[in-house]
Structure 1
Amino acid sequence: MAYYGECIETVIEQLDKFKPKKDSPEQFLEAASTCLQTLSPQKQAFILEVLSGCLEYRKLLTIVVDAFYMRDGQLCLWSDYNLFQVICYLATFQLEELGFQLFCNIVKSQPADKMYKFLRFFFNPLHLCSWIKDEWSLIYEMAHVKETWTDPLMRWQPEVQELIDQLERVLTNQLPLSKTKAKVTEPKQFNLTVPKPRAIPVPAPVPVVAKPRPVPRTTYQSPKEQQVLEMTNRCNRRKAEELLLRANLGEMRCAMPREAPVQGSKKALRLQSPPRIRKALQLLFCRPNDDIPVKLNTAAILREGALYHRQVEKELQRVDKLVDGARDFSEFLEWQRKMQAKDYQEQQAAGECRRLQGKLSHEEAVLARQRLLQENKQKADRKKEEMAELTQQCAERRLQEERSMKELVEQVMEGHRNIQVAQMKLLKGRQQAVQEVREESQELLQRRAQEAREEQTRRCELICQLRALETQPTRKGKLVDLTQIPGYGLEGEMSVVELRERLARLKEAQKREEEEKRDQIIQGKRAKSQELQNTLEQISLCRSAMGRSAALRCEARKAAARGAPSQDERVLELQLRIQEKAAERRRQAALLHVSAPRAARPKPQAQLEAQHWQELERSRQRRQSALQRGGSACGPAHRLEAA
């Protein structure tokens, strides 16, 4: 018996190590065989055979053992789960090979009470012929289950029943274990700490709020710069309105003569009469005034002043060199301007060539598109014929597939009906087991609720006792005198009132020092601002002079750039090619019956008349703005000369 007991224990240990979700049965068996090499060959073969069988028929064994735990084995430990699986496997698959006597020895080597419960449950004829057979039939075929497993078990049932009776007699002959009396706990009193006396809180001193500074008067006053801007804005607007009114009054003087209208045409007579100025136009723009200085920060002022200073030094050095006999660069600059003009003309010609090349490529693309349209049309006709044939073939194939699918669906539905019947039987058995478990759980919950109520009442009593202890009166502390010296014998010892007085005096001394430093800083800022003012005056003078010279250079550059660009041979050649391509495109479009784009409609006489008056108005405004710019540019120049 000890021999078989050791073998069964080894099998149980290996099954405990097996994890279905992670391990595969083949790899697990190989690992187990390596671990069991120290055993004898006969023992090793028996263990591996039982272990492989338990892994192979794990689903069948799990059904039986789970049902045992739900019904008769509710008080059994879950650690014996694999033991019951091994016994179930030996009884189902190895009973004929081992023999009944060897099976009895294996069973007797295990605890008698566990084996008695499991064998009585498993070899119950009612269980074997009802739900065990049905559950196994869901995994394997019913005929195979009946011939291979259930019928042999029913044949062995009388002999196994004798074994069960023997186990029962063994259990009845065993003496009951003596129960030791449980030790009763003795309650102890709580060791509560004595609360400390609470001190009287000292009132906090009321903080003294410093007097705020008054709001400066300039906060509610508009700045002077804004007033100056508004005045200049109004003056400029008034001047502009006067100039516009004069221009509108003299509008008819610059009109071009028109042809005499046809007699009898009311529309022509209406166009002949000059339009009247009913109301002066309101301007919606305001030209900025150049007299307002731009606000700069300190760094910008110093940086610009240093820049102008360096420029003045360079100019003085250049004049000194010319006086000493240095050469002037005017000839070189003239040659440089000519070369730049020549380069500009070449760039214009190159740009015109690129534009014409783009136009030429566009014409070629249109021709290629027309050819492609013709080819695509032919391909589309061929595709339509092929698609018609393919659709007919697909329709025939679809009919055949639908017939085959209908037959397959009928077969599947018949299989589903058989499965539903088996599932209903299984569901009834499980519902009965769940009902039994639910009743037991309700009883346990009622017991726990009763225990919880008793514990709650005991805690409430303890809390009442603690609160009664907290309500006992406590001692009160004494008041503190702030004018009294503590008297610890330390050097410089003083009361709280004296300490506050000394701190107030120190703060006053610090304020006086801060005011002196503030005065020094203000004086330094004033000196620095005066220096910046002088620098700004120099910068304004330099700016006006440089602006005048820049305007003169710009006018000279514009006068030099007014020459018309000369025609290039490449441009002429590209234009001829474009004309040829356009003619070819028109011929191709005529062949393809493509409608040409509509020509632009001639504009009516009224629209031409309105455009003419608009052009006159624009030219007059441009002339007026040029006069205003000239007047504003002369103003700073005169001021600079006067300075």
Structure 2
Amino acid sequence: MNYKELVNEVARFLDEFQEDKQCIDSFTEDTAKNLQTRSSADQKFIINTLYGCIMHKKLLNVVVNIFYLHHGKNIFRVDRNLFTVVCYLAMFCLDDLGLEHFSRIIKSLDNAKMHKFLSFFFNVNNLTTHIQKEWSHIYDAAIVDENWITPLLSWCSEMEMLLDQLTIKMGMGSVPKRSPRKNTEPKEFDLTKPKARPLPAPEVIPQQDKPKPVPASTHRSPKEPEILDDLRQMNRLKAFQTLNEANSQQFRCANPQKSEKTQNIISEIIKKREAELKFDKTYTSGSPATQKTNSLPVRLNTTAILREGALYNRQLEGELQRLEQLSQGASEPSSFLQWQKEMKEKDLQEELAELERRRLEGRISYEEAVLARERVLKHNRYKAQETKEETAELMRKYAEKRLKEEKEMRELVQQVADGHKSSKAAKARLQEIKQRIVKEVSEQSRELLSQALEEAQAELSRKMELIRQIRAFELVPMVRQKFIDETETAGHDLLCEMSLAELRERLALLRESEQCDLEDRRQRIFQEKQFKEQLLLEQLDNIALRRNLAEQAALRSQQEKKMRSELREAVFKDKRVLALQKTLEQKQQERQKRKTEKNTVKKNEQVLPLTLKTSLNKKQVLEEHHWQELERNLEQQIHGAFQQSVYK
């Protein structure tokens, strides 16, 4: 069984098949008639593979289209059906054929093409992304995963062995024959040696004349701007003198000075105005209100009025229940509430002190972490030095191993080149067999074409006769006029059947009944609207009363906030908080001291290469910024938690 001929035969039949003009069953029957000269096993393989490729054309086209999208620049379009046949065998026949028979089929074809296609098709990434996504558009995702993706993934490990074998075959076929060449031996030119040239005479350097000195006026500012400034100043002084003279001299025609009586009246008026001023007043009008009440009316809609009224009704019911319990003998909770308020204030003060203590402990732990981190960095540097030494030893061993592998590969290439010389005789025999098969197939194809032409002619004549009969039926005239009686029924023998006149009467009665229902509905809606307006007016009165009570409660809450601010000031005077602050300052001083010691040690050490030094400095700067950012975030979180607890 020649697998290459069988696969090429199936690809050729796929090229001949025309989906829009031929039926699958008839095409396979015609193919079976053409394959009578072959053995039964070959006929069965070709027909089953051809039928499967046509039936599963959508699935196979998805894989081949994606393959050409990735590798279309290096693959011919003529080989499309060849890849379709190989894809069908891998998807639907791999379990039946087995890996051994499948490997024989693949090795009988072009090694480079099969290696490229199988490496693409059995790639886990391609199967689970592009191919599975396109198959899920055709069939359900669960069916695709169960029937095709999972079985193909199970074969991926075994396909890698086949791909390795194809790679070896490709390497054997690509080794070119080299003929020994003679190396050219260079010879020296027979040239006469030139005589030594005399040294040239030195050129005379010309003496330059002494240049003239730069005149002193070049770097001296001109006198004209100074003269202009002096003139401007003189003109300005003259203008001021003229203005003073004009203001000092009085007009001769009138006396602008006021009399003594007028001056006394003006002084009395000034004194009265000054007496009205109260700069030394001890009592002020008070600080402005922090929460200004809005006196403008707010218009509420129906939903807001009802919602607020329901809230106030629930509060009123709760208050009535409390009064009933008191009338039945329950105790007054005022003393308990006073005690509860005092305890809450005490707990709040302790909680604030605890929060401040935790914040300071966090700062202390941060300082300790910085010191521990420096110790860890020192240990890591020692480990890194050991790792570098181990890496250098491994690289030396790896280089020795690579030299040994290259020597073995050269010996293998030499053996493959020797075995490639005996393949020319086999190629000549294969060419003769192919020519004989082509002659037999051409004779059979001529007979099939003549038979198909006769059948097509008979089918065409039958269709022409059928068209002639249909056109004759269309030319016969039809009577389409019909008279209608409104009092008669259609005659379908149904219980609900009625005439057109009866239908009109019934529709008129239905319209009258609908009009009556509409009037009743309008009257009912008007009554409901009046009731709702009355309810809204009552709710508005109740809301106004409750809002006055809410304003009084807001004044009481402001007084409570003042007390909380006093508690917050008392927290910062706690002894434990002050002790933790002192320990935090000590830790910070210790870290600063270590930092200065570290800088002095670095200056005395040997100077490292420039690149290493700059990278270490950058790393240290980044680490310092990182730790400072962490410290700042920790302080913000503690401060935020502290404020939330105070406001609660």
Larger Rg: 1
The answer to whether TM tops 0.5 is no
TM range (shorter): 0.3 to 0.5
